[in-house]
Amino acid sequence: MSSTHKAVRHDVMRAGNLAVVLGEIDRSGPLSRAALAERTGLTKTTVSKLVGDLIDGGMVVETGAVRDGERGRPGVAVRIHGGRVAALGLEVNIDYLAGCVVDLTRTVRLRRRLPADNRTAPPAEVLTRLGELGTALVREAAALGLAVTGAQLAIPGPIDPASAVVHHAPNLGWRDVPVADLLDVPVPVRVDNEANLAALGELWFGAGTALGDFLHVSGEIGIGAGVVVGGRLFRGAHGFAGEFGHVVVVPDGVPCHCGGRGCLERYAGQDVLLGAAPDLATLLDRLATGDPAATAACRSAGEALGVALTSAVHLLDPDTIVLGGVFAPLFAWLSKPVADAMASRLRRMRGTAVPNLIASQVGPDAATLGAAGSVIMRVIADPAAFLAETLSA
Amino acid sequence: MSSTHKAVRHDVMRAGNLAVVLGEIDRSGPLSRAALAERTGLTKTTVSKLVGDLIDGGMVVETGAVRDGERGRPGVAVRIHGGRVAALGLEVNIDYLAGCVVDLTRTVRLRRRLPADNRTAPPAEVLTRLGELGTALVREAAALGLAVTGAQLAIPGPIDPASAVVHHAPNLGWRDVPVADLLDVPVPVRVDNEANLAALGELWFGAGTALGDFLHVSGEIGIGAGVVVGGRLFRGAHGFAGEFGHVVVVPDGVPCHCGGRGCLERYAGQDVLLGAAPDLATLLDRLATGDPAATAACRSAGEALGVALTSAVHLLDPDTIVLGGVFAPLFAWLSKPVADAMASRLRRMRGTAVPNLIASQVGPDAATLGAAGSVIMRVIADPAAFLAETLSA
């Protein structure tokens, strides 16, 4: 074996061991070096060297003395450091732009949301404005001592994350838009579907693993869903799984921007709900006072949602359904028609195996948070790649 | 470490190694013992001992001399033995009972199918008759030198494989039937959903891995689907995923046995198709001569199927859709309306990522074959458990 080959092997092994140690600190920290050696099966010398590298890279930090699990002696422990490494989450949606900065402990450090009519503006203009938002957030993060290591952008439409091209986002009116090329931020950017990222936002920043396998429905002007199975996104063969807004609820129904007819989002999307009020705040006010038009709008949207969810439950069989986006604040008015439509169709065949229905615990920033969280998860999964970038920068 | 503990560790290691060696022979055989040692990283002595155990158990057999991949010397190779270990697949469907015996090489050795009206007979009577069929097949297999090691039963309804209780099979009219208790065959029986097993039948005995991720639709009196992702069944949180027949195609449509309304199987199930002819053979004859009622029945069933598949594709995003059961012989008449309904709804949004639509390559025995194949796959995955049973018997 040549010495080059040996060096390559050593680097691969070190990268794997760094990930094992950081993963253990992330899941179970604070932990002493001795406890880390016991849990990982690595020698104390190796652990000390790796922890040193992680401290130098600003990813972990020594904390006060803790009891060592094995021997009962107090020792210095290490935990994930929230003061240095951060990620940028960005979102283009139909009627707003949003961004956030999350640190390595998954603490949200900065949030921004700008109203915008992204249906009328050309994609390049929308993405220029978002680039300014993202660049400002990176600068503000730096002022807090945070180095933003990467960004992820949420887009409301099916996207192939490998190419970062939006083939067709019907509600934005975008076709074959090379999103990553048009977005100018000072860090590398990946792109993913908004509904997928909102589901991950719920998993990492909301109700989390208590949900079991879940379907997270993002109610916006379009309706998307993220399918989380065993703690991971179910993406399908082309990355397009979970396009819930285009589940057919009325075969010969209203034409949809997607080219189909009778798609769910024509019966339960935000535009339909806001047929009963000029904006969400007013709709909530009118619902609170029992306004009949507002109540009827929620009931009929809830019924359509319940029919589409019935189909989704028959196909996907989740433990839990999470209603997010605008459906979360409207949950008190939507949940009964949704649950009734589902129960009447599912109860007889499935017994007690009818999924729980809950409102999102994260709120309107779910996709932005999921986007930033994805970057953080990649850093935690491969700290060696991050450290190499930091050293070469 | 005590000697008992050591013995336990040794057994666990031997079981793992047996599975590794048999798996390698199954995937890549015939292979010489030397090639097996190279591929598995085990010593030649260990491999020889394990291969000896597998030969004694009738699971592998020596074949003629093959060239040893590494050294070019001819040597004796081993391959999976089809002459000894076998599995029984059984199926209760609405209008027939079926069984098959498959050997360890996945060759089908025996097949039986009995017409039956299982909607009118009580479950105990249906399962008694199936028990007789299964017992006869085990006896006939023995006459061929085959030892049937286990059975798997396919049932048209959602089932929790752990309890082997059918909660509600609406098309059979079964409720809370303890299937495994009522079925008397001389081997252990597991139970699973017919549509899941038909998908596995397609994977193992039909078009196979060339399909990528696929949705296999079983058109019977009910319509079920099996979702195969990465070569494995996607079962959902309660094992009920793929209940495709109850995807809603008309929200206020025809009442369904399941308690819902407007379910796909009320518009595209075998009973609806056979509204245009007394039986499948006659329907095929009439279609061949262009009979308008028969053609119209296929067209409207195909349109409903296309609408439901559109919803399924939006949620699951498979590479391929396989039409099985009665849909396979009717494929020539169903495929156009199905493909048209899907294309008009999917093409604009998904570009070229519209799944291929093909007819099942397996035919009406898909579920029975998938059932027997599941038993074989369990034996291949854990040969030590099988050998332990054989020795204690």
Per residue in A336-365, pLDDT tens? 999 999 988 887 777 767 899 999 999 889
CB A181 within 8 A of CB A195: no
Q: Is residue B374 predicted with pLDDT exceeding 90?
A: yes
Could you say which architecture CATH assigns to the domain B3-80? Orthogonal Bundle (1.10)
Partners of A239 on chain B (C-beta within 8 Å) are 317
Per residue in A196-219, pLDDT tens? 999 999 999 998 878 899 999 999
Cα–Cα distance measured from residue A190 to residue A161, given in angstroms and rounded to the nearest whole number: 7
Nearest Cα residue to B330 out of B242, B193, B217, B204 = B217
Judged by DSSP in three states, A121 sits in coil
For residue A247, give the nearest of B212, B314, B348 by CB distance. B314
Per residue in B146-186, pLDDT tens? 999 999 999 988 777 677 788 778 788 888 898 888 999 99
Is pLDDT larger for residue B299 or for residue A238? Answer: B299
Interface probe for B, chosen from A315, A322, A348 (most Cβ of B below 10 Å), is A315
Which residues make beta-bridge pairs with A76? A65
Average pLDDT on B78-95 reads 95
Q: State the CB neighbour count (10 A cutoff) for residue B292.
A: 9
Are B238 and A316 inside 8 Å of each other by CB?
no
**In the A/B pair of chains, how many CB contacts fall below 8 A?**
173
Per-residue 3-state assignment (H helix, E strand, C coil) for chain B: CCHHHHHHHHHHHHHHHHHHHHHHHHHHCCEEHHHHHHHHCCCHHHHHHHHHHHHHCCCEEEEEEEECCCCCCEEEEEEECCCCEEEEEEEECCCEEEEEEEECCCCEEEEEEEECCCCCCCHHHHHHHHHHHHHHHHHHHHHCCCEEEEEEEEECCCEECCCCEEEEECCCCEEEEEHHHHCCCCCCEEEEEHHHHHHHHHHHHCCHHHHCCEEEEEECCCEEEEEEECCEECCCCCCCCCCHHHCECCCCCCECCCCCECECHHHHCHHHHHHHCCCHHHHHHHHHCCCHHHHHHHHHHHHHHHHHHHHHHHHHCCCEEEEEECCCCCHHHHHHHHHHHHHHHHHHHHCCCCCEEEECCCCCCHHHHHHHHHHHHHHHHCHHHHHHHHHHC
What is the DSSP secondary structure assignment for residue A250, as one 8-state letter? S
Both tokens assigned to A147: 């180095």
Residues of chain B with CATH 3.30.420.40: 85-198+367-392, 207-361
Q: What is the pLDDT of residue A2?
A: 46
- Shortest Cα–Cα distance, A105 to chain B (Å): 30
Q: Average per-residue pLDDT in chain A?
A: 90
- Shortest Cα–Cα distance, B348 to chain A (Å): 6
Q: Average per-residue pLDDT in chain B?
A: 90
- Shortest Cα–Cα distance, A321 to chain B (Å): 12
For residue A345, give the nearest of B238, B260, B319 by CB distance. B260
Q: What is the pLDDT of residue B8?
A: 61
Q: What is the pLDDT of residue B159?
A: 79
Per residue in A240-267, pLDDT tens? 899 999 999 998 899 998 888 999 999 9
Task: Label residue B67 by pLDDT band (50, 70, 90).
Answer: low
Q: Is residue B229 predicted with pLDDT exceeding 70?
A: yes
Q: Is residue B393 predicted with pLDDT exceeding 80?
A: no
Cα–Cα distance measured from residue A207 to residue A98, given in angstroms and rounded to the nearest whole number: 22
Is pLDDT larger for residue B358 or for residue B207? Answer: B358
Q: What is the pLDDT of residue B5?
A: 54
Q: What is the pLDDT of residue A49?
A: 95
Per residue in A78-130, pLDDT tens? 999 999 999 999 999 888 999 999 999 999 999 999 999 998 889 999 999 99
b/e string for A69-79 if b means 16 or more Cβ within 10 A? eeeeeeeebbb
Interface probe for B, chosen from A193, A265, A317 (most Cβ of B below 10 Å), is A317
Are A158 and B349 inside 8 Å of each other by CB?
yes
Q: Is residue B224 predicted with pLDDT exceeding 60?
A: yes
Q: What is the pLDDT of residue B71?
A: 54
Nearest Cα residue to A247 out of A319, A311, A315, A342 = A311
Are A349 and B311 inside 8 Å of each other by CB?
no
Partners of A158 on chain B (C-beta within 8 Å) are 349-350
Q: What is the pLDDT of residue A72?
A: 52
Q: What is the pLDDT of residue A281?
A: 93
ipTM score of the complex?
0.86
Q: Distances from the Cα of B157 to the Cαs of A225, B181, B218, B240, B251, in angstroms?
A: 27, 17, 12, 9, 22
Q: State the CB neighbour count (10 A cutoff) for residue A316.
A: 30
Question: In chain A, which residue's Cα lies nearest the Cα of B256?
Answer: A345
Q: What is the pLDDT of residue B238?
A: 86
Are B259 and A350 inside 8 Å of each other by CB?
no
Q: Is residue B1 predicted with pLDDT exceeding 50?
A: no
Judged by DSSP in three states, A155 sits in strand
Are B167 and A350 inside 8 Å of each other by CB?
yes
Cα–Cα distance measured from residue B279 to residue B94, given in angstroms and rounded to the nearest whole number: 14
Q: What is the pLDDT of residue B255?
A: 92
> For the CA atoms of A230, A235, A237, A240, what is the dihedral angle to 10 degrees?
160
Nearest Cα residue to B375 out of B230, B190, B141 = B190
Average pLDDT on A290-302 reads 95
> Interior CA angle at B224 toward B222 and B229, to 5°?
175
Average pLDDT on A309-329 reads 95
- Shortest Cα–Cα distance, B359 to chain A (Å): 20
Interface probe for A, chosen from B155, B159, B349 (most Cβ of A below 10 Å), is B349
What is the DSSP secondary structure assignment for residue A119, as one 8-state letter? T
3-state helix, strand, coil in chain A (%, to 5): 45, 25, 30
Cα–Cα distance measured from residue B129 to residue B184, given in angstroms and rounded to the nearest whole number: 9
Q: Distances from the Cα of A135 to the Cαs of A85, A105, A118, A142, in angstroms?
A: 16, 22, 19, 11
A176's CB contacts (< 8 A; 6+ apart) are A165, A166, A167, A168
CB A116 within 8 A of CB A97: yes
Cα–Cα distance measured from residue B207 to residue B197, given in angstroms and rounded to the nearest whole number: 15
Are B316 and A316 inside 8 Å of each other by CB?
yes
Q: What is the pLDDT of residue B13?
A: 86
Are B345 and A248 inside 8 Å of each other by CB?
yes
B2's CB contacts (< 8 A; 6+ apart) are none
Are B345 and A304 inside 8 Å of each other by CB?
no
Nearest Cα residue to B157 out of B214, B204, B92 = B92
Fill in the amino acid letter for B349.
M
For residue A258, give the nearest of B240, B349, B353 by CB distance. B349
* Rg (alpha carbons) of chain A, rounded to whole number: 23
Partners of B319 on chain A (C-beta within 8 Å) are 237-238
- Shortest Cα–Cα distance, B224 to chain A (Å): 10
Are A349 and B246 inside 8 Å of each other by CB?
yes
CB A312 within 8 A of CB A276: no
Q: What is the pLDDT of residue B72?
A: 52
Both tokens assigned to A336: 């009964």
Both tokens assigned to A264: 């769910």
Task: Label residue B2 by pLDDT band (50, 70, 90).
Answer: very low
Are B315 and A242 inside 8 Å of each other by CB?
yes
Size of chain A, expressed as the number of residues it contains: 393
Cα–Cα distance measured from residue B126 to residue B120, given in angstroms and rounded to the nearest whole number: 10
For residue A317, give the nearest of B237, B304, B311 by CB distance. B237
Per residue in A265-283, pLDDT tens? 999 999 899 988 889 999 9
Partners of B250 on chain A (C-beta within 8 Å) are 251
Task: Label residue A166 by pLDDT band (50, 70, 90).
Answer: confident
Are A348 and B213 inside 8 Å of each other by CB?
no
Cβ-based burial of B9 (10 A; exposed 0-12, middle 13-18, buried ≥19): exposed
- Shortest Cα–Cα distance, A71 to chain B (Å): 21
Q: What is the pLDDT of residue B165?
A: 81
Are A314 and B246 inside 8 Å of each other by CB?
yes
- Shortest Cα–Cα distance, B168 to chain A (Å): 5
- Shortest Cα–Cα distance, B240 to chain A (Å): 6
Q: Is residue A54 predicted with pLDDT exceeding 90?
A: yes
Partners of A308 on chain B (C-beta within 8 Å) are 248, 311
Which fold is adopted by the domain A207-361? Nucleotidyltransferase; domain 5 (3.30.420)
Residues of chain A with CATH 1.10.10.10: 3-80
What is the DSSP secondary structure assignment for residue A93, as one 8-state letter? -
Are B345 and A260 inside 8 Å of each other by CB?
yes
- Shortest Cα–Cα distance, B138 to chain A (Å): 34
Largest CA distance in chain B: 79
Are A246 and B170 inside 8 Å of each other by CB?
no
Are B317 and A229 inside 8 Å of each other by CB?
no
Q: What is the pLDDT of residue B173?
A: 87
Which residues make beta-bridge pairs with B41? none
Which fold is adopted by the domain B85-198+367-392? Nucleotidyltransferase; domain 5 (3.30.420)
Residue position matching structure tokens 């057994």: B11
Q: What is the pLDDT of residue A364?
A: 85
Both tokens assigned to A339: 């649950």
Are B258 and A311 inside 8 Å of each other by CB?
no
Partners of A250 on chain B (C-beta within 8 Å) are 251
Q: Is residue B37 predicted with pLDDT exceeding 60?
A: yes
Least confidently predicted of A61-70, B106-115, B356-365, B381-390: A61-70
Partners of A299 on chain B (C-beta within 8 Å) are none
Which residues make beta-bridge pairs with A229? A232
Are B243 and A349 inside 8 Å of each other by CB?
yes
Work out whether strand B320-325 and strand A31-32 pair parallel, antiparallel, or are unpaired.
Answer: unpaired
Partners of B210 on chain A (C-beta within 8 Å) are none
Are A235 and B261 inside 8 Å of each other by CB?
no
* Rg (alpha carbons) of chain B, rounded to whole number: 23
CB A323 within 8 A of CB A217: yes
Are B168 and A259 inside 8 Å of each other by CB?
no
Partners of B233 on chain A (C-beta within 8 Å) are none
> Interior CA angle at A344 toward A339 and A349, to 5°?
115
Q: Is residue B144 predicted with pLDDT exceeding 60?
A: yes
Are A261 and B237 inside 8 Å of each other by CB?
no
Tell me the residue ranges of DSSP E strands in chain A: 31-32, 60-67, 74-80, 85-92, 96-103, 108-115, 147-155, 159-160, 165-169, 174-178, 189-193, 214-219, 223-229, 232-233, 320-325, 356-359
